[in-house]
């Protein structure tokens, strides 16, 4: 008998499920989203504002034009700037859910955290509906291929069917073994801290044939763990493929390829090679079995273990 297929996981803004997490202590329950997604869909509620520590009820927040600083997420009641707090949370939350095989996302329209488009940005001339929520911004940047819709775009039955078809197709095509990766670097030559400081870098110098094939299989939006060799011997942070693969502009070797990596979060606690070797779930991972390989695929379970379970 074949094993049952795993459930489709769809993340949803918690207020749309009837959870009373809005700033005013209310919800925005959508009947179809709350009860009509179907028996094979596992719904994962997410409320970025509550999850960064804002209470219920709470003073409202909004997007403001920060001039050269860009759009900021601000609480007008006391002027607190929540921009970096929300961005850090969004990076971590989206990365964690991506590692569990999330196949779709439904966001609350016009929310300063979750709205995909038309969110009011307040400036000297008043509010203009030209912004995107900070959490939605990170989600769309980190997972550009993920099916994402706002609840207002799912009111038509045809739009709902089309969204679920995209979600099912995404789940079929997503293979955790080839959409999550681990790369190794010598911190004396180039450390994860260097990547964080530079924000984006070209990942080059890969010479091993198998490692090159893995590098050539990367696609924009893929998630990457960064492992430091030398004295550290540990997974220390996350990144995302920002571009590539493409031919190495510094090499005359036609087989030499590179990708561009963009820095993600640093792990709260690095996961050492010793810890990986002692974890039965990682016994067959390339990190444990192929110590000299510098670029390797990572399964969903391996990602969860090697990223500190976040």
Q: What tokens were used for 147?
A: 């099916």
How far is residue 191's CA from residue 173's CA, in Å, rounded to a whole number?
33
| Three-point CA angle 67, 92, 297, nearest 5° | 120
Q: Extract the tokens encoding 255.
A: 């087989």
pLDDT tens-digit series, residues 247-289: 999 998 888 999 999 999 999 899 999 999 999 888 888 899 8
Q: Please name the residues in contact with 169: beta carbons below 8 A apart, sequence gap of 6 or more.
A: none
Q: Across 14-23, 139-148, 242-251, which has the greatest mean pLDDT?
A: 14-23
Q: What is the DSSP string of 67-98?
A: GGG-EEEEETTTTEE-HHHHHHHHHHHHHHHH
- Show the domains of the chain with their CATH numbers: 8-173 (no CATH), 176-303 (3.10.590.10)
Residue 48: which pLDDT band, with cuts at 50, 70 and 90?
Answer: very high
φ, ψ for residue 293 (rounded to 5)? -75, 130
Confidence class of residue 39 from pLDDT cuts 50, 70 and 90? confident
For residue 170, is pLDDT > 50?
yes
Cα–Cα distance list, 241 to 74, 92, 227, 254, 301 (Å): 30, 16, 15, 21, 20
Tell whether the model's pLDDT for residue 4 goes beyond 50.
no
pLDDT class of 175 with cuts at 50, 70, 90: very low
Handedness of CA 184, 187, 189, 194 (dihedral sign): positive
Check pLDDT > 70 for residue 126: yes
CB 85 within 8 A of CB 52: yes
**At which residue do the structure tokens 């700037």 appear?**
81
């Amino acid at each position: 008998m074949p094993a049952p297929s795993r459930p489709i996981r769809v993340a949803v803004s918690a207020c749309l499920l009837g959870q009373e997490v809005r700033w005013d202590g209310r919800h925005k329950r959508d009947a179809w989203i709350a009860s009509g997604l179907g028996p094979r869909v596992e719904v994962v509620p997410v409320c970025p504002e509550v999850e960064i520590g804002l209470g219920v009820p709470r003073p409202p927040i909004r997007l403001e034009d920060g001039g050269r600083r860009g759009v900021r997420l601000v609480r007008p009641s006391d002027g607190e700037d929540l921009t970096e707090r929300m961005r850090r949370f969004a990076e971590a939350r989206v990365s964690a859910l991506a590692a569990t095989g999330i196949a779709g996302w439904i966001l609350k329209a016009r929310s300063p955290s979750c709205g995909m488009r038309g969110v009011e940005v307040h400036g000297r001339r008043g509010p203009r509906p030209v912004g995107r929520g900070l959490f939605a911004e990170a989600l769309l940047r980190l997972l550009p291929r993920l099916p994402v819709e706002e609840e207002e775009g799912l009111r038509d039955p045809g739009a709902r069917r089309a969204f679920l078809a995209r979600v099912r197709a995404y789940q079929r095509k997503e293979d955790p073994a080839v959409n999550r990766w681990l790369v190794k670097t010598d911190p004396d030559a180039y450390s994860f801290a260097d990547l964080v400081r530079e924000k984006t870098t070209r990942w080059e110098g890969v010479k091993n044939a198998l490692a090159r094939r893995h590098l050539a299989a990367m696609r924009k939006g893929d998630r990457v763990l960064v492992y430091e060799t030398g004295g550290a011997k540990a997974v220390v942070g996350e990144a995302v493929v920002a571009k590539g693969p493409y031919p190495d502009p510094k090499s005359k070797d036609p087989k030499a390829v590179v990708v561009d990596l963009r820095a993600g979060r640093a792990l709260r606690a690095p996961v050492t090679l010793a810890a990986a070797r002692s974890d039965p779930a990682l016994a067959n991972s390339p990190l444990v079995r192929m110590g000299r390989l510098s670029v390797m695929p990572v399964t969903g379970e391996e990602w969860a273990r090697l990223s500190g379970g976040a």
